[in-house]
Amino acid sequence: MRVAAVQLNSTADTAANTATAERLTRAAAADGARLVVLPEKWTVLGRDDDLRAGAQTVRGPAIEWARALARELRIDLVAGSIVERREAAGEPLANTSVHIGPDGELRAVYRKLHMFDVEVAGRVYRESAVTEPGSEVVLSASADGVELGMAICYDLRFPGLFAALAARGARVVVLPSAFTLPTTRDHWEILVRARAIENEVFVIAANQVGAHPGGNRSGGQSLICDPWGVVLARAQEQEGYVAADLDLVRQAEIRAQLPVLEHRRPEVYSQTSPRTRGSSTGALA
């Protein structure tokens, strides 16, 4: 199964962003990719006002473009994430990723669970000022029947989400992102590889790159990682795409030989009351 991660330098210019996304998606499909992942907020990335102004519904022009392109190229397309304006009046905006099948139909809609409300290198980020978190873990499936877990950017720091996706059958996790320059440099690869190893899944991590309006910078280095933690493809610090072949047979072998998914004990992890220190009756080794 050949897949690709598209790396963009999105700005507040949705038309220009879409043109670049189309050029690179077409190139990835021509390279044999049957599943292509766009980065977070590929339609518009900038100041809070830019994001609000660029918000669209999942039936809006950006996703309609993605549906038409997926249908034309006969690919599964994860339309990164968009700032979603809900169709019902008065509902809050969301950071939303959409999986579209080769028939152009929507297969899954995932709204980012974890809001990026942090301080990094002296800069404060408040994603919740623009969007509100979703409330559902979402699993989809490619045209080949390969189960896709859906996550977005900051979700990468929450192992419980990835464990839940793997428990529900995910073999690949798609991760549209706009990781900051400092966190890309120091954390990005470590976290992507860790989530892949822990859950014995492939991770397709499509990151933004470069400067965006408002002074934000993303770090690039989009990755495709296998269930053993091996980086199959890595982008550099410019727009482009990377592609790799996913060996699903090898994944099955890894899961059989190192069955960590079977060995998990969520009934123990979910206990909320800490045990009294020294209460164990087991022998000390």
In angstroms, the CA 145 to CA 280 distance is 45
Catalytic residue status for 22: no
In angstroms, the CA 80 to CA 44 distance is 11
Residue 73 DSSP SS3? helix
Exactly one of 153, 200, 225, 239 is catalytic; name it. Answer: 153
Beta-bridged to residue 231, according to DSSP, are 225
In angstroms, the CA 59 to CA 46 distance is 22
Ranges of H-type helices in the chain: 14-30, 48-53, 61-73, 159-167, 181-183, 189-199, 248-257, 260-263, 266-269
Cα–Cα distances in Å, from 74 out to 32, 61, 205? 11, 19, 21
Exactly one of 84, 112, 200, 225 is catalytic; name it. Answer: 112
Catalytic residue status for 225: no
Exactly one of 40, 84, 127, 239 is catalytic; name it. Answer: 40
Catalytic residue status for 40: yes
Active site residues: 40, 112, 153
